[in-house]
């Protein structure tokens, strides 16, 4: 049997950590809820979306993988806006190891609540060694870390490189990635639907 003092020594740090996480979440604006969102459309100039690749396409980046977001492909630079109220918790850059040109991916994560987040991956598709244009894309991101955003808050200008420049639009819930269309408002779903008709592509596959 643990003594009362020992129990307290174990429980107190847990309690303090828990309270700390809760307080930090509330301070940065992430509510301790798990409610599923209703997303608005993330690009202002919807008529400049000329192609789409749906969520769930199989063998997307190798056998056994699937496409974990929706690609909205553009024909000119467009304005990416927040589709939901939340807090910016990640702004990062990665090199696309799957691609020959080693293009840079610009990630922006909007945490909605404890269960849900939107990930906007800007893929202008400039080669990884094109420092000039990748710097322009970096500087075209207009939000900062821990900034609170509302529906329509400008996130970035997604630059057009001429080759499959797109927004990889992701939604993650408590049990992993899902098709963002399913959790979109009726108006946003209509926009997706129009694009899918124009491009003859499915939005959520399977």
Contacts to Zn ion by CB under 5 A: 69, 71, 168
Of 48 and 85, CB closest to Zn ion: 48
160 Rama class: left (phi>0) / alpha (psi -120 to 50) / beta: beta
Q: Is the CB of residue 129 less than 8 Å from the CB of residue 161?
A: no
In the bound complex, what is the minimum distance in angstroms from residue 121's beta carbon to Zn ion?
7
* Cα(177)–Cα(169) distance, integer angstroms: 11
In the bound complex, what is the minimum distance in angstroms from residue 112's beta carbon to Zn ion?
20
* Cα(96)–Cα(80) distance, integer angstroms: 21
Residue facing Zn ion at closest CB distance? 168
Strands 117-123 and 104-111, by their bridges, are: antiparallel
Q: Is the CB of residue 43 less than 8 Å from the CB of residue 81?
A: yes
Of 71 and 172, CB closest to Zn ion: 71
Of 141 and 167, CB closest to Zn ion: 167
Of 69 and 83, CB closest to Zn ion: 69
In the bound complex, what is the minimum distance in angstroms from residue 51's beta carbon to Zn ion?
12
- The per-residue DSSP string of 117-181 comes to EEEEEEE----TT-HHHHHHHHHTB---TT-EE-TT-EEEEEPP-SSS-EEEEEEEETTEEE-GG
Of 120 and 149, CB closest to Zn ion: 120
Tokens of 196: 């899918």
In the bound complex, what is the minimum distance in angstroms from residue 55's beta carbon to Zn ion?
9
In the bound complex, what is the minimum distance in angstroms from residue 116's beta carbon to Zn ion?
19
In the bound complex, what is the minimum distance in angstroms from residue 114's beta carbon to Zn ion?
26
Of 57 and 151, CB closest to Zn ion: 57
């Amino acid at each position: 049997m643990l003594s009362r003092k020992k129990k307290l020594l174990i429980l107190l740090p847990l309690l303090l950590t828990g309270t700390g996480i809760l307080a930090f979440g509330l301070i940065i604006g992430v509510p301790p809820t798990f409610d599923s969102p209703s997303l608005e459309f993330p690009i202002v100039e919807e008529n400049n979306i000329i192609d789409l690749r749906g969520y769930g396409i199989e063998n997307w980046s190798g056998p056994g993988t699937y496409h974990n977001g929706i690609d909205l492909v553009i024909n000119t630079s467009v304005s990416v806006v927040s589709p939901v109220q939340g807090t910016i918790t990640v702004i990062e850059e990665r090199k696309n190891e799957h691609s020959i040109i080693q293009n840079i991916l610009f990630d922006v994560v909007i945490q909605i609540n404890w269960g849900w987040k939107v990930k906007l991956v800007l893929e202008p598709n400039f080669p990884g060694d094109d420092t000039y244009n990748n710097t322009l894309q970096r500087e075209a991101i207009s939000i900062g870390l821990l900034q609170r955003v509302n529906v329509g808050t400008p996130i970035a200008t997604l630059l057009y490189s001429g080759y499959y420049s797109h927004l990889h639009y992701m939604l993650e819930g408590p049990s992993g990635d899902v098709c963002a269309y399913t959790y979109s408002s009726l108006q946003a779903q209509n926009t997706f639907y129009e694009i899918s008709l124009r491009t003859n592509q499915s939005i959520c596959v399977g």
